[in-house]
Amino acid sequence: DLGEYRHFMLKEIFEQPQSVAATLEGRLAADHVLPCLHGVSDALERLAQVDEVQIIACGTSYHAGLVGRYWIEANTDIPCQVEVASEYRYRRQPPRKNLLFVTISQSGETADTLAALEKIKENHGSLATLTICNVAESSLIRESDLALMTVAGPEIGVASTKAFTTQLVALQLLMVLLMQAKGADAGKIAKIVDDLRKLPALIEQALDLNATIEKLAEHFIEKHHALFLGRGELYPIAMEGALKLKEISYIHAEAYPAGELKHGPLALVDSEMPIVTVAPNTALLEKLKSNLEEVRSRGGVLYVFADREAHIQEADNLHVLEMPHVPELLAPIVYTLPLQLLSYHVAVQKGTDVDKPRNLAKSVTVE
């Protein structure tokens, strides 16, 4: 049922305060994360032994995994690798010690992800396999030792939205469970838990930009290419923004870590290729600002989603869209929202089939 919404995608974008709250519900104590993994009974003992994490997923779920790597490596001493399932499943991997093998999937039925899980179980094994998934009765859940459920509710739109942000929430929960298992600083954990509680309200605030973004979308409908920039854990969010735009508006979009520009893509910059940037107030903000100048001085037109405390000044060819101030660890989640809205409004204005884009299926159960 679409209710007041014109498309499932828009409905699902607006459901995110609730789906994120539902994914957190019953999982946070006052100052720590409660055990929220289902499956084998010695889950916490196994987490304490983890020496490495390998994340496997496809598409949007892969982008969630990339953010997860930044988070896990920034807050634990556990190295984390991330790879798309279709590559991982066909190459040799050296044996790893005490590996936590994590698959991420909305549907739990993606053929390549399932094959990667089967491969690790058949070959050198792992300490534990864990699936972050939105469908409890799915194949990936059945085949994994442990499940960490996202509580997004059914996602109908082919373009994944609320599944992605709830996957990011699940990855934060997993990160904190690993921190707890490894005896990390209690104060640091309490602060993360405290911040997580603010998330639904911050998402609500990001959604307030909807009307502004609808107008902004007019700048994109005649374009053939767009560039998305981010740094650090916002780089995968730029990748997700580019995927959304490609998927439903059929505009060619690419994402780059902003520091890579001068190694090639700067040659593409002209007034015909809009450049979308996500700029929360993180440690890398000053570096990002100088990357923006590099682009602007070459005639690029920039649309920057920026923390209202980041003090990025509007200028010729530099449009600033103010975002709420967010704790650094929550920025990738909150900054996803405006990029979802942007791709949605561009697609609607171009008249594409938003919920069922051409050539794509909701669940990719064949290789």
Task: Rank residues 47 and 159 by Cβ distance to ligand M6R and give the closer one.
Answer: 159
- C-beta closer to ligand M6R: residue 106 or 291: 106
One of 20, 50, 59, 348 touching ligand M6R (CB under 6 A): 59
Q: Residue 284 CB, nearest distance to ligand M6R (Å)?
A: 26
Nearer to ligand M6R, 157 or 257 (CB): 157
Using CB under 6 A, pick the residue from 16, 19, 23, 105 that binds ligand M6R: 105
Instruction: Please tell me whether residue 23 binds ligand M6R under the rule CB under 6 A.
Output: no
Residue showing tokens 């534990």: 128
Q: Which stretch binds ligand M6R (CB under 6 A): 73-81, 155-163, 196-204, 223-231?
A: 155-163
Element at 129 (helix H, strand E):
strand 128-133
Minimum Å gap between C-beta 321 and ligand M6R is: 22
For the CB of residue 361, give the shortest distance to ligand M6R in the complex, in Å: 8
**Between residues 160 and 291, which has the closer beta carbon with respect to ligand M6R?**
160
What is the sign, positive or negative, of the torsion defined by CA atoms of 297, 299, 300, 301? positive
Annotated catalytic residue 97: no
Q: Which of 16, 23, 60, 249 is the binder for ligand M6R (CB under 6 A)?
A: 60
Closest by Cα among 28, 30, 93, 23 to 56: 93
| Position among 19, 54, 75, 106 found at the interface with ligand M6R (CB under 6 A) | 106
Cβ-contact 310, 264 below 8 angstroms: no
Contact by Cβ (8 Å): 274, 223: yes
234-253 binders of ligand M6R (CB under 6 A): 247
CB-based closest residue to ligand M6R = 59
Which is nearer to ligand M6R, 29 or 360 (by Cβ)?
360
Q: Distances in Å between the alpha carbon of 20 and those of 3, 81, 116, 169? A: 20, 25, 28, 7
Site for ligand M6R in 159-188 (CB under 6 A): 159-160
Distance separating alpha carbons of residues 199 and 165, to the nearest angstrom: 11
Q: What is the smallest separation between the CB atom of 253 and ligand M6R, expressed in angstroms?
A: 13
Instruction: Specify the length of the chain in residues.
Output: 367
43-75 burial, b at 16+ Cβ within 10 Å, e below that, comes to beebbeebebbbbbbbbbbbbbbbbbbbbbeeb
Integer CA distances (angstroms), 361 to 5, 110, 160, 246, 253, in order: 22, 11, 11, 15, 20
Nearer to ligand M6R among residue 24 and residue 158 (C-beta): 158
Which tokens sit at 319? Answer: 């449009």
Cβ atoms 130, 46 nearer than 8 A: no
Interface of this chain with ligand M6R, residues 107 to 146, rule: CB under 6 A: 107, 110, 113
Identify the active-site residue in 191, 350, 356, 362. 362
d(Cα 153, Cα 155) in Å, to the nearest integer? 6
Q: Which residues of the shown chain bind ligand M6R in the complex (CB under 6 A)?
A: 58-61, 105-107, 110, 113, 158-160, 247, 360, 363-364
Residues annotated as part of the active site:
362
